Structure 1
Amino acid sequence: MHSLAEEIKTFSKASLRKQCTHVTTLTGKRLLETWKDSALRVEEEEEEEGACGYVQDFSLDLQVGQVRPHVLLASQDAAQDLDTLRKLKVSHILNVAYGVENSFPHLFEYKTLNILDLPETPITSYFRECSQFIDEAKAKDGVVLVHCNAGVSRSAAVVIGYLMSREGLTFDDAFALVKAARLAVRPNPGFYQQLKAYRPQEMERDHARDVNLEEH
């Protein structure tokens, strides 16, 4: 058995394994960081086709939040899963995603609005049309599934706007209710500010005035 002193004498830095770290930047560039002789060496690796600067999650998100008995909130995965839709007795689907096709046009009543998840998108301008669709489903004792791509920003903003418009809830109360139904909810900063400034009564009054002007 070697003593500790003998092991120290025979120790060599060359026997140490190099420590390497693979890094992917936001633009998809892949880098290899290697520590050698107390110095960091960075090399660019060959890019993979379709690489992105985040960990891609290909798992299905079938979690559906029930905001009201007739209003459900989810991602596109739930909207494309027939078993989930039937289990929840969905009759209407409000699709506010961008570039997501309706999977079962002969089984459910759809309304589709291609909305971009960008802070500058005027999300409140879509509330009136979305709320009317939800109202129509409710009048038929139906259940509406509202979805975008991830069920985080656009669809959440639409449901929050619906609660503020139809139930007179404040933004804070509506946001808390929707967040409790689906924890992943997080409208982008632009939507958040628009919702805080949203005044349903004023928008309805302005809409009625515009309609009267057009008629005359």
Structure 2
Amino acid sequence: MHSLGEQIKGFSKNNLRKQCTRVTTLSGKRIIETWKDSLVHVVDDPDQRDGAGCGYVQDLCMDLQVGAIKPWLLLGSQDIAQDLEIMRKSKVTHILNVAYGVEHSFPNEFTYKKISILDLPETDITSYFPECFDFIEQARIQDGVVLVHCNAGVSRAPAIVIGFLMYNERLNFARAFSIVKNARPATCPNPGFMEQLLKYQDCIKRQADVIHKKAD
């Protein structure tokens, strides 16, 4: 049986079927994101009927569940980032937006950082860790509260927060994942992110070993 990494490397993107996702912007405008030839194509939705011709399951429920990882570190979906009342109630001061195609809702109210990350197994999520971790740490140092969100708050944002706990508190993957999962049950990073987080655990351990050897 091949490992996930080998399967990803050997997989031809030409075998992928065309996928499309309908997105409703803050203004109520509907657009369609379509994957074709390894690129995302964005067009206006020509058909406003629910679910017409797009092969997706429309989610009409707002996901307003705030995952409190720490008093100053929150995790959620784009719905939370678009709800000013909830963010004020949660005392949010900083917002780390790792979604794709989601703009800042209240640029004059919060300190934002936007990093567009694709939720694909082959995306190198760890390459974004330094930039994300710096922003999270800045919020903490400034006695702020940072909300980390992606589109659904299921894969990308949780992966970033899990990685941050592993790095900042030297937790192993299992412990960091458990903390995030308990705070936000919807947490489910894609298989590629899970594999990268496990490898990141080994990387952190090697760094710790080097530090201990130098100290000795």
TM-score of the two chains, using structure 2 as the length reference:
0.70
CA RMSD of aligned residues (A): 2.0
Q: Which residue of structure 2 aligns with residue 153 of structure 1?
A: 155
**In structure 2, distance between residues paired with 1:122 and 1:169:** 21
Which structure has the bigger radius of gyration?
A: 1
Deviation, 1:69, is 1.1
**In structure 1, distance between residues paired with 2:204 and 2:145:** 23
**In structure 2, distance between residues paired with 1:148 and 1:203:** 29
The one of 30, 53, 64 aligned to 2:66: 64
**In structure 2, distance between residues paired with 1:27 and 1:195:** 26
Q: Which residue of structure 1 aligns with residue 190 of structure 2?
A: 188
Q: Which residue of structure 1 aligns with residue 169 of structure 2?
A: 167
Gaps of 5+ in 1: 1-25, 29-47, 205-216
- Equivalent position amino acid for 2:182 in 1: A
Superposed CA offset, 1:13-38 (max 9, x none): xxxxxxxxxxxxx979xxxxxxxxxx
Task: Give aligned-pair identity as a percent.
Answer: 60
**In structure 2, distance between residues paired with 1:78 and 1:203:** 36
Q: Which residue of structure 1 aligns with residue 91 of structure 2?
A: 89
SS at match of 1:66: strand
Specify whether residues 27 and 89 from structure 1 end up closer, same or farther in structure 2 by C-alpha distance, changes over 3 A only. closer
- Equivalent position amino acid for 2:137 in 1: D
Aligned pair count reads 160
Deviation, 1:58, is 1.6
Q: Which residue of structure 2 aligns with residue 121 of structure 1?
A: 123
Specify whether residues 27 and 118 from structure 1 end up closer, same or farther in structure 2 by C-alpha distance, changes over 3 A only. closer
SS at match of 2:171: coil
SS at match of 2:178: helix
Specify whether residues 99 and 202 from structure 1 end up closer, same or farther in structure 2 by C-alpha distance, changes over 3 A only. farther
**In structure 1, distance between residues paired with 2:165 and 2:82:** 25
Deviation, 1:123, is 0.1
Specify whether residues 203 and 119 from structure 1 end up closer, same or farther in structure 2 by C-alpha distance, changes over 3 A only. farther
Superposed CA offset, 1:157-212 (max 9, x none): 000000001000000000000000000000000000000110247689xxxxxxxx
**In structure 1, distance between residues paired with 2:149 and 2:204:** 22
Gaps of 5+ in 2: 1-17, 21-48, 209-216
